[in-house]
């Protein structure tokens, strides 16, 4: 069963989104405010695959809800939804742990495609049966449990972050283009831009590097992309 929580205060938009997601095979739970979303999340013990979360909500805003939900689950898919198209809104949502960002107005096909992409990622993580560990310097990536440790200390990752790390670990010391990273992690049919790669790398550095401003492992290849340095 594909479970999604839709958090949107505008009734007409919420109903439009719910109908299209139900047609796509999702079991949809609705919330009209940040408070309702957090209450529903607690009542259901976080048993959702994806949360579609509007930024501008009455009371507790979407950014706060995103942060609180992500603190409780690193595997849940989170998509931010907003009428604003400013770059900082996108960056803020992604830095707080969102996996993707959709700007209003959007088409039903675009929205469902973005939700489907996140759902596939979550499902793949749950069904992973590989027992291999990938070692790179002080880091150990467990493909079965979808976890990463540095010097034996666990590092909390979202599913997007895990997929990025798995890709880097499998391509050590290789310069990977942003477009290639986007295609491998977000899929061929992703509607967004390459900025999402930069924000997720920035978020990863904050978790991985002793000094994120002077990275040792996750390096920028200027004008091209990124490289994982295996020591």
What does the pLDDT profile of the chain (231 residues) look like in tens digits?
899 999 999 999 999 999 999 999 999 999 999 999 999 999 999 999 999 999 989 889 999 999 999 988 888 899 998 876 666 777 888 888 898 988 888 899 989 998 998 888 777 666 554 447 889 999 999 887 788 999 989 998 888 899 999 999 999 999 999 999 998 888 877 777 788 999 999 999 999 999 999 999 999 999 999 999 987
pLDDT at 128: 53
Same domain for 134 and 57:
no
Same domain for 145 and 109:
no
The rounded distance, in Å, linking the Cα atoms of 115 and 91 is 19
CA-based Rg of the chain, rounded to a whole angstrom? Answer: 18
Last residue of a domain, one of 82, 108, 126: 126
Same domain for 145 and 103:
no
Domain that holds residue 139: 130-228
pLDDT at 120: 84
pLDDT at 129: 46
Same domain for 72 and 113:
yes
**Global pTM value:** 0.73
Same domain for 143 and 120:
no
Of 15, 59, 67, the C-alpha closest to 35 is 59
Q: Which helix (H) or strand (E) holds 126?
A: helix 108-127
Same domain for 114 and 34:
yes
Last residue of a domain, one of 83, 106, 126: 126
For residue 110, give the CATH number of its domain: 3.40.50.2300
Q: Which helix (H) or strand (E) holds 103?
A: strand 100-103
Same domain for 84 and 191:
no
The rounded distance, in Å, linking the Cα atoms of 30 and 11 is 10
pLDDT at 40: 96
Residue 136 — φ and ψ, nearest 5°? -145, 105
**Tokens 């409780």 label which residue?**
72
Same domain for 50 and 10:
yes
Query: Domains in the chain: how many in total?
Result: 2
For residue 98, give every residue at least 6 positions away whose Cβ sits within 8 Å of its Cβ, in sequence order, or none. Answer: 53, 66, 70, 78, 79, 80
For residue 182, give the CATH number of its domain: 1.10.10.10
Same domain for 108 and 142:
no
Last residue of a domain, one of 78, 109, 126: 126
Same domain for 189 and 143:
yes
Tokens found for residue 44 = 């259901």
Same domain for 91 and 161:
no
Please state whether beta strands 176-177 and 153-155 pair in parallel, antiparallel, or not at all (unpaired): unpaired
pLDDT at 86: 66
The strands making up 176-177's β-sheet, listed across from edge to edge, are: 176-177, 225-228, 218-221
């Amino acid at each position: 069963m594909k479970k999604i929580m839709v958090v949107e205060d505008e009734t007409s938009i919420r109903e439009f989104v719910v109908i299209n997601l139900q047609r796509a095979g999702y079991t949809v739970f609705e919330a009209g405010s940040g408070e309702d979303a957090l209450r529903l999340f607690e009542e259901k013990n976080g048993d959702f695959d994806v949360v579609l979360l509007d930024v501008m909500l009455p009371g507790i805003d979407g950014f706060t809800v995103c942060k609180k939900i992500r603190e409780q689950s690193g595997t849940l898919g989170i998509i931010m939804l907003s009428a604003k198209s400013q770059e900082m809104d996108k960056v803020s949502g992604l830095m707080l742990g969102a996996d993707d960002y959709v700007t209003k107005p959007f088409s039903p096909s675009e929205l469902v495609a973005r939700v489907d992409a996140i759902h596939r990622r979550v499902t793949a993580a749950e069904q992973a049966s590989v027992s291999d560990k990938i070692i790179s310097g002080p880091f150990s990536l467990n493909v079965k449990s979808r976890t990463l440790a540095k010097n034996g200390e666990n590092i909390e990752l979202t599913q997007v972050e895990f997929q990025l790390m798995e890709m880097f670990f499998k391509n050590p010391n290789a310069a990977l283009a942003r477009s290639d990273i986007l295609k491998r992690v977000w899929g061929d049919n992703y509607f967004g831009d390459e900025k999402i790669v930069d924000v997720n790398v920035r978020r990863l550095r904050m978790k991985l590097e002793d000094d994120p401003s002077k990275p040792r492992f996750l390096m920028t290849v200027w004008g091209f992309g990124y490289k994982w340095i295996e020591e």
